[in-house]
Amino acid sequence: MKKLGFIGGGNMAEALARGLLDNRVFTPDELLVADIDAGRRRKISRALKVETTADNRAIRDNSRALLIAVKPQQIDEVMAELADEGTVDGPPALSRKRIGKAAAKRPPQVSGKRSDDRLYISIAAGITLERLSTGLKTARVIRVMPNAPAMVGQGMAALTGASGVSKADETFALKIFRAVGDAVALKDERLLDAVTALSGSGPAYFYLFIKALADSAVSEGLPAELAIRMALKTMRGAEENMRRSPLSAAELIRIVASPGGTTEAALRKFAEAGFSDIVAAAIRAAAERSRELGRS
């Protein structure tokens, strides 16, 4: 039995698997990945040296825990397949590239029946614990909201579990997502809407702000490449300074904004344009859209 099987082998699943391997949380022979796309299977097999299959039920029958990484519009079909009490006939259709000779001699064994103690972890956006528990016919389900920077090892994820999830299950899930950044556990699933609005959608806000900074600097005469380089380094430096400093954000702003100086002039323009109100309205809009997706 594998320790973790992936249902879906897209970019996020690949990033998670890579992080788990790079940080030696798991070894390649402890992971199994399913994807309907043969090209994705070949890519993952070559890059990560893990076994792959096109059969989701093979993942189910050969993994202690499953991470569902499919698009929300595919979740019902996938859950129906995973909840089916049937099993695959014989060994799963794994890729021929095995992890060493020993693995080639030991194909994963099919259990013959569905295990009752399997843990399911879903990163399908907007799919609630209730819907997951109903579709998978188990209360041992964890819902996670990751974000795109996980693909470069700088992710931020939040998770919450259904009634059947144990502390050990939660710890296991946190270990997965901390391999590609940071992760926190929440008691209230409703907070995932705010998480989605902040960290889930958040990278796009920073891209937008960096673009606006660079474009404005270009209009003041800086070359475009230099403007982006300086904006990115300024953002990274400010983030690191804020992380290390015991001071609040407001106090750090006051330190930079000398009375009568250039920073004060810029901040005054932000205030006049209602910058804080714009940000608050954007977060509310994203959170409400997350709630709508959950209801649908």
Sign (positive or negative) of CA dihedral 83, 16, 188, 3: positive
Which token pair is 59?
Answer: 């993942």
> Which amino acid is residue 238, in one-letter code?
A
Tell me the pLDDT of the chain averaged across its residues: 90
Instruction: Collect contacts of 200-204 with beta carbons under 8 A, ≥24 apart.
Output: 200/125, 200/145, 200/146, 200/147, 200/286, 200/290, 201/286, 202/147, 203/147, 203/148, 203/149
Ranges of CATH 3.40.50.720 domains, the chain? 4-187
pTM, whole model, 2 decimals? Answer: 0.84
Ranges of CATH 1.10.3730.10 domains, the chain? 202-295
Q: Indicate the class that CATH gives domain 202-295.
A: mainly alpha
- For the sheet with 119-122, list strands across it: 51-53, 31-34, 4-7, 65-68, 119-122, 141-145, 155-161, 181-185
DSSP string, 84-129: -S---SSS--B-S--SHHHHHH-PPPP-SS--SS-EEEE--TT--H
Cβ neighbours of residue 210 closer than 8 Å, sequence gap 6 or more: 228, 231, 232, 235
Residue 49: which of 17, 23, 13, 24 has the closest Cα? 17
CA atoms within 13 A on the CB side of 244: 6
CA angle 138, 140, 144 (to 5 degrees): 115
Query: So what's the pLDDT on residue 117?
Result: 78
- Specify the fold of 4-187: Rossmann fold (3.40.50)
Query: So what's the pLDDT on residue 275?
Result: 97
Mean pLDDT (10-residue bins), the chain, 296 residues: 94 95 96 96 96 95 96 92 68 46 38 63 93 94 96 96 96 97 96 95 97 98 98 97 97 96 97 97 95 82
